[in-house]
Amino acid sequence: MKIIKSSLGLFVLLLIISLMSCDKTGTYADVDEKVNAVSNGIVFISAEELNAKIDSGDIFNLIDVREPTEFYHGYIPGSINIPRGLLEFKISNEDFWMNEGFYLPEKNEEFVLICKKGGRSILAAKSIQELGYKNVTVLKGGWKKWELTYPEIYEKDLDALGGHEEVEEAGGC
């Protein structure tokens, strides 16, 4: 009987230790591994589908998560620049949207996210989904895909940057 109690106690202790050591949050070897893991739950839209959506007059929120130094050198008409590092703070900030000339979007509205190549917007999409935004898509291939597919359909605002030449991207993919 003493051996059974000791064995049962040891079993319970090992079970508790193994459950506590489980990493439920996930760790990744690098950012590419994280982007790949996160992208499983993301819906993508092609440049052609996005262009058709714009042309049809559909109402949706087009958010470019690149840094301003990247955004102002070329962006899709109608997009709003909310850098990836500020997205969670600005997405539900009514003052931000009013300053942009828009109403605060509802969480059930459609959002299309853009970055340079797609990685930052995948992470951004996951982040705002975790904040309760349900209808979120990512432009597959990002700004680079748009720029190659529609080289004449974009806007610039170099005056916002003082008219300087293009600078290197601020980070991310």
| Maximal CA-CA distance, the chain | 84
67 burial via Cβ count (<10 Å: 0-12, 13-18, 19+): buried
110 burial via Cβ count (<10 Å: 0-12, 13-18, 19+): middle
The angle, 0 to 180 degrees and rounded to 10, between the axes of the packed helices 119-130 and 31-38 is 50
Catalytic residue status for 22: no
Sheet containing strand 80-81, edge to edge, reads 43-45, 135-139, 110-114, 61-64, 80-81
Catalytic entry in 113, 115, 128, 139: 115
Question: Contact, 65 vs 124, CB < 8 A?
Answer: yes
Q: Catalytic amino acids?
A: 115
